[in-house]
Structure 1
């Protein structure tokens, strides 16, 4: 797998702890919406610290974009990314990943786990093929919601926000669990796309299987 050094062109805030990084796109570089890369910061002490991040740009864009949440509770890669500036260098690998679009279905995301779905849904929207896809997006607080306005624009009434850790009038309250899925999904013979923290992904997949979803229709990073 090849590696490429890319320069940061722009850094924009998305939420209080999430930023969109726009970087140069290597000549001939290709990927499919939903795929990721192994990324590291090109400075001493961090070059070997590679972490997976999803492309949130579209394959035809002239630049690459990553939408990344910074975790400041320890000095890891995402914390270091928060200190970078345009002109700094990153290293990325060829694209990889198992989250690929397999037809109209239900997207289930927990927090920053929504990032693989951003490029998929942007791509469908740009092609006029968003169809009846639905997104259920769980966050701790309203200030944690990534891309709320864009998801509303793309999905309309098929975008559902859940808030778990604070009262939030106008939002669904609670977690994505078996009871919630049973209440809001009318049939389980369709693709389900699942991404989030490990506990979220495993519990959601178990709930879907218990409700009759076919294992081959469950799309997630294995």
Structure 2
């Protein structure tokens, strides 16, 4: 079912990542880990839909989306970034993307962190986030989303790795077998993986190589 909703708040989390809070339709239901399809009334994008994870809590009165804006692509995310408070989007009903299997290890690259944010926020309000760990890969420190919130939720279990910048208290390079081996303290726990391109598949294969059971690895439906 299609819903027309207004933008009630717009903010930039980094230089190229946007957070939108939208009107929540009456009786609109969703839970952590679900995603929606977004479309625009702009004729240039007629028939196009883009999937985004709902990052807000299901108890909130609004819907929240976090999206990376690809300025060079001249595509839908760039067009969405031009919208203002009060402008409208079309959204569909929520559908299953990531299943909440409880506390575990979250491994994300860039804006692939959005399902992790949704699940961690839900675990946090349920007082079940303890024991979870987030391994977050970015190019530079300025690319890290929601740094303060994630630090507050996870403390020392918020691990950042940067590929293009060396910083104190941050790992340097890319997530690989050695990094995973050093960071995994509990192999018998859920693993949630999301990132650009084939990030999730690569990490999944590395986890399998380390002996993690396939049923514990969650890379979306």
Partner of 1:89: 88
Partner of 2:185: 186
- Per-residue CA deviations over 1:7-48 (Å, capped at 9, x if unaligned) read 111101111111110110011111111110000122222242
Partner of 1:157: 156
Partner of 2:22: 23
Q: TM-score, normalised by structure 2?
A: 0.96
CA shift for structure 1 position 168:
2.0
Distance in 2 (CA, whole Å) between partners of 1:77 and 1:60 is: 28
Partner of 1:58: 57
Does the 8 Å CA contact 1:13/1:20 hold for their aligned counterparts?
A: yes
Partner of 2:13: 14
5+ residue gaps, structure 2: none
Partner of 2:210: 211
Does the 8 Å CA contact 1:177/1:203 hold for their aligned counterparts?
A: no
Does the 8 Å CA contact 1:98/1:219 hold for their aligned counterparts?
A: no
Partner of 2:67: 68
Provide runs of 4+ in structure 1 moved above 3 Å: none
Partner of 1:44: 43
Distance in 1 (CA, whole Å) between partners of 2:68 and 2:206 is: 27
Distance in 2 (CA, whole Å) between partners of 1:162 and 1:15 is: 17
- Per-residue CA deviations over 1:174-202 (Å, capped at 9, x if unaligned) read 11111111112134221100000132111
Q: TM-score, normalised by structure 1?
A: 0.96
- Per-residue CA deviations over 1:74-128 (Å, capped at 9, x if unaligned) read 1111111111101111111111123121022100000000001112111111222
Aligned length: 221
Match of 1:146, SS? coil
Distance in 2 (CA, whole Å) between partners of 1:168 and 1:41 is: 40
Distance in 1 (CA, whole Å) between partners of 2:46 and 2:95 is: 20
Distance in 2 (CA, whole Å) between partners of 1:80 and 1:14 is: 17
Match of 2:98, SS? coil
Distance 1:187 1:123, change over 3 A: closer
Distance 1:63 1:187, change over 3 A: closer
Match of 1:42, SS? coil
Does the 8 Å CA contact 2:99/2:220 hold for their aligned counterparts?
A: no
CA shift for structure 1 position 164:
0.6
1:120 aligns with 2:115: no
Distance in 2 (CA, whole Å) between partners of 1:192 and 1:167 is: 27
